[in-house]
C-alpha cells in the first residue's frame, strides 16, 4: 500500500484554530472592547481566554456577562493580583487548547483580519511564529505610528532568527502568533510577578529556540497610547528611576538568554538595540527629571554599560547611541545633558562645541575628551549634523521667516559641499500631510557671524533689515552677511573646514545659512494643529541628509506670534522646543483657534 500523501493528511486534518489570551486589571472601560475585537476575528479564533488579574472595578463581572452569550469566551479570575502582565499571560497560556495562540492587552484591539493573516502566514510557511505590523494609536488624537515598520515592509520567511538580527528590535509579544506546541515544548513562558518589560525576556526566549518565522505587512495589532490616563501603562510610566532599572534588567536577561543558547550575534544585537533605542529614548527625557533621578539614572546606566565588551563598542562606533554611551561611561557624574539630548534626537544632532585634542583628534569636549574619531569615516547621509533654527516675524509682523544655520562638523560638511536646504513641515497627528517649501541655496557665513548655537545658549543671529524692494513676496532667500549673491554655491575660505589643532569654540571652520518663508496659509488650512520641522540638506555630489533643527531658545525667540490673515483674520503661531530640542510649531487659526489656546492656558493655570 502506498504511503498516505501529505496532501491527503492535510485534507483529513481538522482546520487550525487560534486562541487569543486577553489579560486585564481594573480596566472595565476597555476590556470588553478588546475581547469583542478578538471574537470579531471570526471562526479562525476558536477560543478567547480572558484572564482577570483580581480586578476591583467590576471588570470580571462584565466578562462573565459577555461569556454567557459567547461560547468561545472563557473567563479566568485570579485570586490575587500578580502586579504585572507575565503571570496572567502564563495563566491564559496554560488554559489554551488551540494549536496557535496570540496575546492581547485589555486596552488594545485586534484589527479585522489580524488572526487570519497571521495564521495563513504561519501555515503557509510551516512557521512556529508569525508576526505582523503593530501601530501605536495616540488617543484621543487618533494619530497612528507604525512600530518597527521596516521589519514588516514585505512578506518574508526567516528560516532562523540569526538571519535577521533586527528581529530583536521588535520586543512585543502581542503582534505575533505562536504555535502553542512550540512554546510548550521549549518551556517558553513570561517572567512571573511584577516584572516590567516581561515581553523583552519572552521574545528573547522565543528567538533562542530558533523558530522559523513568517513576517507579513498586514496591520495585526492596535496599541492604544493613553498618555492622559489616570493610570499609565507599565511601559509608559517612566517617571520613576525604577522603570529604568527594570528596563536595563530586562535587556540584561535577554542578552544572557540568547548568549546561553549560543545565539551570539543575536545577543550582540540586543546590546546594540539598547544603545540605539532604549538609551536614546531615556536620554531625551533626562531634562524633565530632577537631580536625584538624574544621578540614580546615570549610576544605573554606567553599571549596565560597564558590562559591554570591546566588540560591542566596535560595531558601528559612530552611531549616536554608542557615542552617548561612551560619554556616560567616561563621566562619573551627569554632564552635558542638553547636548546629549540633541544627540539622542531622531535624526541625531551633534551640537557645538566641536573640540579637538592636542593631536587634532575630534573629541566630545575639552573637559571630557571622548574620541569622536569615527565621525570622520561616517557617510555624510548619516552624519549628526546640527542646524540652528529661529522663527522671526517680518513685513511688520504680517509674515514669518525661518532662519537656518548649518554648523560645520570637523571639516566633513565643507568637504561634502552643502548646496541647498529644503524645509518641510509634518503634521503631528497626520504624518501624511506635509507642507514643503522650495529648496533654497545655502550660503557660507563669515567667520564669527550668526548664532553661537550651543544648546540653551539663547544666542541668535542679529535681526536683518527690511527686504529689498521686489523681494518681499519671495518664498525663500539666502542669507549671508557679505556672502556671495543668492544662488551661489561655491564655498569661501571661511567654510573650508581648516581647524587648528586644539582650537575651541562653537563654530569652527565655518557655517552656512539660509532663510525660508513659512507658508502659514498652508499650515492653517487644516485648523489648529502641531507641525514638526524637517530639513533636507543636499550636497555637491547629490547626496542628501534629512535632519531636524535645534530650536534656539533665547529671549523672544520662542514667543507666540499673532499674524494677520486674510482668510482667518488672525493666526496664532507658537514655536517651541520639543523634548529632544527640535523646533515645532503650534498653529491656531481664527477666533476659534484663539479661544482654544485661551482655554488650554486657563486649564494649565487651574491645574
Q: pLDDT tens across 34-53, in order?
A: 999 999 999 999 999 999 99
Mean pLDDT of 216-221: 98
Per DSSP, the three-state class of 33 is helix
Q: pLDDT tens across 123-159, in order?
A: 999 999 999 999 999 888 788 889 999 999 999 999 9
Mean pLDDT of 566-579: 86
- Collect all residues with Cβ–Cβ distance below 8 Å to 296 and sequence separation of at least 6: 241
Q: What is the pLDDT of residue 248?
A: 97
| Strand partners of residue 547 | 535
**563598542: which residue's cell?**
313
Mean pLDDT of the chain, nearest integer: 85
Q: What is the pLDDT of residue 216?
A: 98
- Collect all residues with Cβ–Cβ distance below 8 Å to 396 and sequence separation of at least 6: none
Question: Could you tell me the pLDDT band of residue 446, with boundaries at 50, 70 and 90?
Answer: confident
Of 275, 276, 293, 273, which Cα lies nearest the Cα of 285? 293
What percent of the chain stands above pLDDT 70? 82
Question: Could you tell me the pLDDT band of residue 396, with boundaries at 50, 70 and 90?
Answer: low
Question: Could you tell me the pLDDT band of residue 465, with boundaries at 50, 70 and 90?
Answer: very low
Mean pLDDT of 217-231: 83
Q: pLDDT tens across 286-302, in order?
A: 999 999 999 999 999 99
Higher pLDDT, 289 or 525: 289
Give the whole-angstrom CA distance, residue 523 versus residue 396.
20
First to last CA, the chain: 82
Check: CB of residue 383 under 8 Å from CB of residue 545.
yes
Q: What is the pLDDT of residue 497?
A: 36
Q: What is the pLDDT of residue 20?
A: 98
Higher pLDDT, 495 or 528: 528
Q: What is the pLDDT of residue 331?
A: 97
Check: CB of residue 533 under 8 Å from CB of residue 585.
yes
| Strand partners of residue 511 | 407
Per DSSP, the three-state class of 158 is strand
How wide is the angle at C-alpha 495 spanned by C-alphas 491 and 499, nearest 5°? 145
Q: What is the pLDDT of residue 493?
A: 29
Q: What is the pLDDT of residue 364?
A: 98
Cell of 279: 538609551
Question: Could you tell me the pLDDT band of residue 593, with boundaries at 50, 70 and 90?
Answer: low
Q: What is the pLDDT of residue 486?
A: 30
Give the whole-angstrom CA distance, residue 335 versus residue 368.
10
Q: What is the pLDDT of residue 507?
A: 36
Per DSSP, the three-state class of 221 is strand
Inform me whether the pLDDT recorded for 458 exceeds 50. Answer: no
CA distances (Å), origin 286, targets 20, 197, 239, 295, 551: 38, 20, 10, 10, 18
Give the Cβ contact number of residue 406 at 10 Å.
27
Question: Could you tell me the pLDDT band of residue 594, with boundaries at 50, 70 and 90?
Answer: low
Mean pLDDT of 223-240: 70
Give the Cβ contact number of residue 566 at 10 Å.
6
- Collect all residues with Cβ–Cβ distance below 8 Å to 466 and sequence separation of at least 6: 394
Q: pLDDT tens across 180-208, in order?
A: 999 999 999 999 999 999 999 999 999 99
Give the Cβ contact number of residue 464 at 10 Å.
14
Higher pLDDT, 228 or 485: 228
Higher pLDDT, 568 or 279: 279
What percent of the chain stands above pLDDT 90? 69
Question: Could you tell me the pLDDT band of residue 495, with boundaries at 50, 70 and 90?
Answer: very low
Q: pLDDT tens across 318-338, in order?
A: 999 999 999 999 999 999 999
Inform me whether the pLDDT recorded for 557 exceeds 80. Answer: yes
Of 334, 344, 258, which Cα lies nearest the Cα of 581? 344
pTM: 0.84
Mean pLDDT of 478-490: 31
Amino acid at each position: 500500500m502506498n504511503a498516505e500523501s501529505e496532501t491527503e493528511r492535510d485534507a483529513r486534518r481538522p482546520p487550525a484554530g487560534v486562541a487569543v489570551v486577553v489579560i486585564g486589571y481594573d480596566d472595565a472601560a476597555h476590556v470588553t472592547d478588546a475581547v469583542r475585537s478578538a471574537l470579531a476575528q471570526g471562526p479562525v479564533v476558536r477560543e478567547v481566554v480572558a484572564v482577570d488579574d483580581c480586578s476591583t472595578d467590576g471588570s470580571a463581572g462584565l466578562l462573565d456577562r459577555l461569556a454567557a452569550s459567547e461560547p468561545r469566551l472563557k473567563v479566568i479570575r485570579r485570586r490575587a493580583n500578580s502586579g504585572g502582565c507575565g503571570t496572567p499571560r502564563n495563566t491564559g497560556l496554560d488554559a489554551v487548547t488551540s494549536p496557535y495562540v496570540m496575546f492581547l492587552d485589555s486596552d488594545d484591539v485586534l484589527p479585522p483580519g489580524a488572526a487570519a493573516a497571521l495564521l495563513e502566514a504561519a501555515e503557509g510557511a510551516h512557521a512556529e511564529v508569525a508576526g505582523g505590523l503593530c501601530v501605536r494609536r495616540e488617543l484621543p488624537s487618533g494619530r497612528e505610528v507604525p512600530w518597527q515598520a521596516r521589519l514588516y515592509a514585505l512578506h518574508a520567511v526567516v528560516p532562523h532568527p540569526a538571519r535577521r538580527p533586527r528581529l530583536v528590535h521588535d520586543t512585543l509579544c502581542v503582534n505575533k502568533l505562536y504555535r502553542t506546541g512550540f512554546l510548550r515544548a521549549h518551556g517558553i513562558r513570561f517572567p512571573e510577578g511584577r516584572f516590567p518589560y516581561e515581553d523583552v525576556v519572552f521574545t528573547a526566549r522565543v528567538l533562542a529556540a530558533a523558530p522559523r518565522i513568517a513576517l507579513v505587512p498586514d496591520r495585526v495589532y492596535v496599541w492604544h497610547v493613553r498618555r492622559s490616563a489616570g493610570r499609565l501603562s507599565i511601559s509608559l510610566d517612566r517617571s520613576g528611576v525604577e522603570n529604568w532599572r527594570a528596563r536595563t534588567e530586562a535587556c540584561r536577561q535577554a542578552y544572557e538568554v540568547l548568549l546561553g543558547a549560543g545565539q551570539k550575534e543575536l545577543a550582540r544585537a540586543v546590546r546594540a538595540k539598547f544603545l540605539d533605542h532604549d538609551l536614546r529614548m531615556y536620554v531625551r527625557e533626562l531634562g524633565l527629571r530632577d537631580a536625584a533621578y538624574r544621578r540614580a539614572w546615570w549610576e544605573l546606566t554606567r553599571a549596565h554599560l560597564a558590562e559591554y565588551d570591546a566588540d560591542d563598542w566596535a560595531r558601528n562606533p559612530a552611531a549616536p547611541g554608542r557615542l552617548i554611551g561612551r560619554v556616560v561611561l567616561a563621566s562619573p557624574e551627569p554632564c552635558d545633558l542638553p547636548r546629549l539630548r540633541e544627540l539622542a534626537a531622531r535624526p541625531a544632532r551633534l551640537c557645538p562645541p566641536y573640540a579637538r585634542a592636542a593631536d587634532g583628534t575630534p573629541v566630545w569636549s575639552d573637559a571630557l575628551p571622548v574620541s569622536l574619531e569615527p565621525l570622520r569615516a561616517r557617510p555624510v547621509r548619516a552624519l549628526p549634523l546640527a542646524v540652528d533654527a529661529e522663527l522671526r516675524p517680518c513685513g511688520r509682523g504680517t509674515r514669518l521667516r525661518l532662519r537656518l544655520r548649518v554648523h560645520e562638523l570637523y571639516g566633513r560638511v565643507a568637504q561634502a559641499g552643502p548646496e541647498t536646504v529644503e524645509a518641510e513641515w509634518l503634521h503631528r497627528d497626520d504624518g501624511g500631510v506635509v507642507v514643503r517649501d522650495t529648496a533654497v541655496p545655502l550660503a557660507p557665513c563669515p567667520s564669527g557671524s550668526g548664532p553661537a548655537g550651543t544648546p540653551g545658549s539663547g544666542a541668535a543671529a542679529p535681526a536683518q533689515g527690511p527686504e529689498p524692494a521686489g523681494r518681499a513676496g519671495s518664498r525663500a532667500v539666502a542669507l549671508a552677511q557679505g556672502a556671495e549673491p543668492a544662488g551661489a554655491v561655491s564655498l569661501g575660505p571661511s567654510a573650508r573646514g581648516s581647524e587648528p589643532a586644539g582650537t575651541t569654540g562653537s563654530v569652527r571652520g565655518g557655517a552656512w545659512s539660509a532663510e525660508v518663508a513659512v507658508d502659514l496659509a498652508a499650515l492653517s488650512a487644516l485648523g489648529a494643529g502641531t507641525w514638526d520641522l524637517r530639513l533636507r540638506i543636499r550636497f555637491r555630489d547629490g547626496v542628501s541628509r534629512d535632519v531636524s533643527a535645534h530650536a534656539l531658545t533665547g529671549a523672544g525667540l520662542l514667543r507666540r506670534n499673532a499674524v494677520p490673515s486674510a482668510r482667518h483674520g488672525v493666526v496664532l503661531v507658537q514655536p517651541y522646543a520639543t523634548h529632544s530640542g527640535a523646533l515645532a510649531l503650534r498653529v491656531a487659526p481664527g477666533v476659534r483657534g484663539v479661544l482654544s489656546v485661551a482655554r488650554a492656558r486657563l486649564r494649565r493655570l487651574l491645574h
